């Protein structure tokens, strides 16, 4: 039997952030199980990227991971240009405009997922209190009164006081524990690829709402490269994926109104079905869910992993607060892993996730094909909003991640 305080199943961006957040604030020991090793970066950009907001950057900074990320590659952006193909409305967000009310140097960063994961993994490997299990997956979980037992086929089983499912949208942990989940098909598939833009990305995140769904062109670390996320019906995604590269580029140029010039496809295309998932509870007995294991949302606002990183920081904080209370009172009864303590995490993060799910739903509904009158109103609404600096500042604050109850790691540098 191998004993740890916390066992994390899944070493993706969220699971690794949780491990480091726990170690930053406690001396608890952590085991991570994941058989998907980190991948060496090639010179070509990865097609899976994330828009990382200021709150997430602050978490990485506090975990001493931001410097490892920025040593590799990332692209900050200072502008956002959003427009409506059908209704003629548009909104521009500009850093200079919002800086008077919010102290920030960027509106966000586009970072390849593997750049983030590599940096987190490297940092976790340097921590004596974190041990990786990468040879095989777990086969069974048994939850006892004060411990969780997890077994492999070949290696000795692991015993921990808390088990965390950070194993993504199709979470094995969630299924093993029979944790019920609400889900809804967005009836969209996201097509992702890298494209070359002759007019350059201009440090701008571009997003057009087409009648079939949103298309984002996100700036990459080379001035003329963008990562696209094109959300559309499953049939249209299949058609776009099968087009010859030149024809695809023509349709993409037309869809983006040629705002970045005649774009050229420079990578393979991949598609992902988009589903809203929301676990009814993020905690059951001595088991907690974080990140995509707990919730998945539409990528139209680039908030999925940002939400998951806040789960990780929040769960670590709830645990650390309880651990320090116990050390003050000399009470060694391990109540930090009790469901009563974890319920605070459950209520906190469920409420933030449900708000985000509702917000994604409203935006998606607003732009679904509709009759002429609402389309005109939507265009007028966007144009009016575009001129209202205070309202835009509220939206920007939300996009930066400064909303709701933030965990300490997302707020300010820790000592």
Q: Contact positions toward ligand FAD, by CB under 6 A? A: 9-15, 33-34, 36, 50-51, 137, 166-168, 172, 190, 192, 229, 272, 291-292, 299, 302-306, 308
Strands 30-33 and 2-9 come out as parallel
Provide, rounded to whole angstroms, the least separation between the CB of residue 113 and ligand FAD: 6
- Which residue, 68 or 399, is less far from ligand FAD as judged by CB? 399
> Is the separation of the CB atoms in 263 and 197 below 8 Å?
yes
- Which residue, 249 or 307, is less far from ligand FAD as judged by CB? 307
d(CA 296, CA 275): 7
Provide, rounded to whole angstroms, the least separation between the CB of residue 380 and ligand FAD: 29
- Which residue, 9 or 318, is less far from ligand FAD as judged by CB? 9
- Which residue, 192 or 220, is less far from ligand FAD as judged by CB? 192
Provide, rounded to whole angstroms, the least separation between the CB of residue 133 and ligand FAD: 9
Structure tokens at 380: 């007028």
| Coil, strand or helix at 110 | strand
- Which residue, 101 or 151, is less far from ligand FAD as judged by CB? 151
Provide, rounded to whole angstroms, the least separation between the CB of residue 292 and ligand FAD: 4
Provide, rounded to whole angstroms, the least separation between the CB of residue 100 and ligand FAD: 27
Provide, rounded to whole angstroms, the least separation between the CB of residue 320 and ligand FAD: 21
C-alpha distances in Å from residue 408, one per residue of 115, 341, 382, 415: 24, 18, 34, 12
Q: Which residues of 16-37 are buried (b: 16+ CB within 10 A; e: fewer)?
A: bbbbbbbbbbbebbbbbbbeee
Structure tokens at 256: 């983006």
Residue of 98, 91, 25, 34 lying closest to 62 (CA atoms) = 25
- Which residue, 61 or 167, is less far from ligand FAD as judged by CB? 167
Angle at 369 between CA 248 and CA 271, to 5 degrees: 35
d(CA 281, CA 180): 8
């Amino acid at each position: 039997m191998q004993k740890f305080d916390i066992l994390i199943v899944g070493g993706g961006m969220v699971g690794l952030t949780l491990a480091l957040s726990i170690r930053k604030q406690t001396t608890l020991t952590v085991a991570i199980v994941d058989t998907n090793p980190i991948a060496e970066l090639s010179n070509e950009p990865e097609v899976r990227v994330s828009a990382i907001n200021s709150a997430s950057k602050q978490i990485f900074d506090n975990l001493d991971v931001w410097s490892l990320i920025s040593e590799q590659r990332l692209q900050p952006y200072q502008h956002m240009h959003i427009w409506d193909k059908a209704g003629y409305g548009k909104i521009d967000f500009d850093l200079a405009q919002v800086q008077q009310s919010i102290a920030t140097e960027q509106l966000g960063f586009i970072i390849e997922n593997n750049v983030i994961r590599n940096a987190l993994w490297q940092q976790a490997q340097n921590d004596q209190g974190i041990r990786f299990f990468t040879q095989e997956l777990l086969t069974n979980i048994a939850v006892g009164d004060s411990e969780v037992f997890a077994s492999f086929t070949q290696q000795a089983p692991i015993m921990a006081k808390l088990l965390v499912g950070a194993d993504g949208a199709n979470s094995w942990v969630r299924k093993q524990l029979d944790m019920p989940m609400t889900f809804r098909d967005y009836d969209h598939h996201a097509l992702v690829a890298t494209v070359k833009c002759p007019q350059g990305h201009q440090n701008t995140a571009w997003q057009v709402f087409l009648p079939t769904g949103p298309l984002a062109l996100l700036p990459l670390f080379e001035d003329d490269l963008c990562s696209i996320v094109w959300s559309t019906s499953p049939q249209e995604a299949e058609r776009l994926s099968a087009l010859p590269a030149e024809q695809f580029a023509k349709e993409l140029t037309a869809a983006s109104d040629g705002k970045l010039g005649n774009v050229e496809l420079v990578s393979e295309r991949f598609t992902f079905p988009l589903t809203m998932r929301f676990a009814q509870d993020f905690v059951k007995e001595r088991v907690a869910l974080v990140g995509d294991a707990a919730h998945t949302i539409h990528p139209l606002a680039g908030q999925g992993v940002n939400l998951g990183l806040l789960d990780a920081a929040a769960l670590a904080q709830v645990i650390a607060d309880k651990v320090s209370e116990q050390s003050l009172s000399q009470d060694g009864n391990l109540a930090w892993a009790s469901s009563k303590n974890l319920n605070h995490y459950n209520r906190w993060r469920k409420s933030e996730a449900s708000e985000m799910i509702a917000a994604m739903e409203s935006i998606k509904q607003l732009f679904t094909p509709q009759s002429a009158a609402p389309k005109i109103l939507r265009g007028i609404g966007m144009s009016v909003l575009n001129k209202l600096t205070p309202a835009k500042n509220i939206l920007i604050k939300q996009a930066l991640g400064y909303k709701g109850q933030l965990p300490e790691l997302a707020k300010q540098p820790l000592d």
